[in-house]
Homo-oligomer: A and B are copies of this chain.
Amino acid sequence: MLPRGMKAGAKMAVTLKDVAKKAGVSPATVSYALRGGQYVSPATMKKVMKAAKALGYTTNMSARSLRYGKTKIIEVVVHELDIPYYYSKLAATAVPAINREGYQALVLQTGLDAGNVKEAVDGISNQICDGVILNATGIDANEIKRLSMNRPTVLLDDCTPEPVLDTVMTPNREGARIATRHLIEQGCRSVAAVGIGYVSPTAIGVQVGTSKERFEGVREALAENGMGLTERQCLACDWLVEPGREIAHQLADVGMPFDGLFCASDSLAFGLIRGFADRGIRVPDDVLITGFDGISLGEYTVPSISTVRIDMKDLVDKAIRLLLDRIDGIYDGEPRREVAGYDFVVRGSSTRA
C-alpha cells in the first residue's frame, strides 16, 4: 500500500506493522517491546523479538526522528579530511566523544571553499541533526547567524570581536608568542613567520582572523626582545605541505636570510623540512623551525617537529559541552567563548644537538 504517487522501491523495507502482523500483536505493542519492554509481558516480548529478527526489522530513522522531534545526531563539519592532519584528527577525536554522549556523529567534508561550507550546512543539515560543530573560517557573522537559526551550532576558531555563537578558540596569539619566544631563546636573531600575512599598523584594529592573531603573537614575542616584524618577514601562503616546500625552495634560492621560522601549521613545517632537504639546507643546523597544531606525524618526521600542540580532546569536549547545553536547554544565554588547552612541545626541528 504505497502512498499516493509514491513509486515502488526495488525492495520495500520491513516495518513495525509487518512485525506486528507476524507476531500477532498491535504495532504499539511492538514499539514498546522493541524499546525495552516496558508494559510488555515476557511472552509477548519474546514473540515480538522473534518476529522482528525473522523479518530483519530495523527502525526507520526518518520516521522515528520525525515523531521524536530529535535525531540524536551531531554533525562535525570540517574543510578537508586529507589535509595532514588537523581536520582528520579533529574528526577522529570528535566522533567517539560524541558517541559517548549518546549521539551519533556525522562528519561532513566541505572542501576549502567557504561557499561550500554554507551550502553543506544549508543542505544536509537542514534538520537531519540536532547540532553542528563547525569550523567558521571564511564565513561572515551574518551568514553564521542565519545558519544557526535552525539548530544549535558551536564554532571553532571564530575570531569575530563580538561572538555571535558559542565558540571554542585555539590559542592563536599565545601559541605564536610562545613558539617565537622559544626560537629566540634558542639563539635565533632573524625570525620569519611562514603562512602569516603581514598586518600593517593601520589594519591591526580592523583585520580579523586566526592568521592575524598569530601575527600579533609573533610580533609581541619579537618586540619583547627588541626586534621588529616587517613585511619582509611575513611569508603568506596556504597552511599546507606543498606551499611549505615551495617557500623553502624560495628561501634557499635567495641564500636563506633567516635563522628561525615560525610556521602557522605542522603541515607547513613538514613541507619546509622536505624543501630544505632538496636544497641541502639542514634543519636544525642551518635553521630552526617550529610548527603549530600538534599533529601526531610531527613526532615522526626527520627531524621531528617542535610544535604548539592543541589539546584536541579538550577542544572537542568543550565544543560538545557547549552544544549539549544548548540542545538540552540547559543554557540559553549570550554566546560563550572558550579556549582549548595546549602545550608547547620541543623536538628536533628547533634544538641544536
Which chain A residues (107-144) contact chain B, with CB distance < 8 Å? 107-109, 111, 122-124, 126-128
A65 at the interface (CB under 8 A from B): yes
Residues from chain B with Cβ under 8 Å of A296 in the complex: 82, 84, 241
A60 lies within 8 A of B105 (CB): no
A62 and B128 contact, Cβ closer than 8 Å, known pairs A67-B3, A296-B82? yes
Tell me the complex Cα distance, A300–B274, Å: 6
Write the residues of chain A forming the contact surface with B, with a CB cutoff of 8 angstroms: 3, 6-7, 9-10, 13, 56, 58-63, 65-71, 73, 80-82, 84-85, 88-89, 91-93, 95-96, 104-109, 111, 122-124, 126-128, 146, 149-150, 241, 245, 270-271, 273-274, 277, 296-297, 300-302, 304, 326, 329, 332
Determine which of B56, B95, B106 lies in contact with A150 in the assembled complex, contact meaning CB atoms within 8 Å.
B56
Give the distance in Å from the alpha carbon of A203 to the alpha carbon of B66 in the complex: 52
Give the residues in chain B near A270, CB-CB below 8 Å.
297, 300
Give A270 to B96 CA distance when docked, in angstroms.
26
- Considering the chains assembled together, what is the distance between the CA atoms of A277 and B329 in angstroms? 54
Alpha-carbon separation in the docked complex, A73 to B67 (Å)? 20
Contact A241 B297 (CB under 8 A): yes
Q: What is the CA–CA distance of A4 and B343 in the complex, to the nearest angstrom?
A: 52
Taken together as a complex, chains A and B put the C-alpha atoms of A188 and B301 apart, in Å, by: 26
Shortest beta-carbon distance from A204 to chain B in Å: 34
Does A66 lie within 8 Å of B69, measured CB to CB? no
Tell which of B60, B61, B271 touches A124, judged by Cβ atoms closer than 8 Å: B61
Are B300's CB and A302's CB within 8 A?
Answer: no
Q: Is the pair B61, A128 in contact by a Cβ cutoff of 8 Å? A: yes
24 A-B pairs with CB atoms under 8 Å apart are A6-B67, A56-B146, A56-B150, A59-B126, A60-B66, A60-B126, A61-B126, A62-B62, A62-B127, A66-B66, A73-B124, A82-B85, A84-B84, A84-B85, A84-B297, A104-B124, A106-B106, A106-B107, A106-B124, A107-B107, A128-B128, A274-B302, A274-B304, A297-B297
Bound: A300/B268 CA distance, A: 11
Residue of B nearest to A65 (CB): B62
Measured CA separation A332–B80 after assembly (Å): 35
| Residues of chain B with a CB closer than 8 A to A63's CB | 62, 66
Measured between beta carbons, the chain B residues less than 8 angstroms from A10 are 326, 329, 332
A119 to B3, CA, bound (A): 32
Nearest CB in chain B: distance from A179 CB, A: 21
Considering the chains assembled together, what is the distance between the CA atoms of A84 and B67 in angstroms? 41
Q: How far is the CA of A313 from the CA of B73 in the complex (A)?
A: 29
Residue of A69, A91, A274 with most partner-chain B CB within 10 A: A69
Q: How far is A73 from B107 in the complex, measured between Cα atoms in Å? A: 13
Which residue, of A109, A301, A329, has the highest number of chain B Cβ atoms within 10 A?
A109
A10-B332, A61-B62, A82-B89 given; name 11 further pairs at CB < 8 Å: A7-B69, A10-B326, A56-B150, A59-B126, A61-B126, A61-B128, A62-B62, A63-B66, A82-B85, A85-B88, A245-B300
**From B6, B61, B127, B128, contact of A69 by CB (8 A):** B6
In the complex, which residue of chain B has the Cβ closest to the Cβ of A329?
Answer: B10
